[in-house]
Amino acid sequence: MKRIVLTFLAIVAFTAISFAQKYAFVDTEYILENIPAYSAAQEQLDQLSVQYQNELEAIQAELEQMYNDFRAEAVLLSDDMKRKREDVIVSKEKEYRSLQQKYFGREGDLFKKRQGLVKPIQDDIYNAIKDLASNGNYAVIFDKSGGLSMLYTDPKYNLSDQVLEKMGYNN
């Protein structure tokens, strides 16, 4: 009988502990907006993107001009000269696509630059959240900026300002 009572109490205690877990949420968009290094990184990435885009637009304009000139002069050109001009245009198109991939591709320059500038900031945020979670005994911390749908969020569980504070930023 004593054993049954102890087992029952252990189950009740375990259940109470599991229901007493704490949950919180953060808004990483809000956190990132309040970190000056992130804003500077975004500005640098935007400038680089515009630079790359302008370079590609210049090549595209050159391609269009080459194609228009070819169409206008095609009647006057021999078959051999037509093929040479077409080869030059095709080569320029390949250069354009290659440069586009180099700049904006999956492993392109812009992606690598973003990884170099933004990833350390994201890692700092993750580490601050991880510290808050372990020190505050939180079972789960949600990120509400990532498209997580919540019908209700109690502001007292928003740890965004604490994450910024932990990282050394005042808000």
| Interval 62-103: pLDDT, tens | 999 999 999 999 889 899 999 999 999 999 999 999 999 999
Cβ count within 10 A of residue 47: 10
pLDDT category of residue 9 using cuts at 50, 70 and 90: very low
pLDDT at 127 > cutoff 50: yes
Q: What is the pTM of this model?
A: 0.69
pLDDT given for residue 19 in this prediction:
53
Which residue is listed with tokens 């509400």? 144
Question: Quick one: average pLDDT of 131-137?
Answer: 84
Three-state SS at 97: helix
pLDDT given for residue 7 in this prediction:
47
pLDDT given for residue 153 in this prediction:
54
pLDDT at 157 > cutoff 90: no
Pick the range with the lowest mean pLDDT from 8-17, 36-45, 123-132, 138-147: 8-17
pLDDT given for residue 17 in this prediction:
47
Question: Quick one: average pLDDT of 29-52?
Answer: 95
| Residues 44, 165, 120, 111, CA torsion sign | negative
Inter-helix orientation angle 79-104/109-135, to 10°: 20
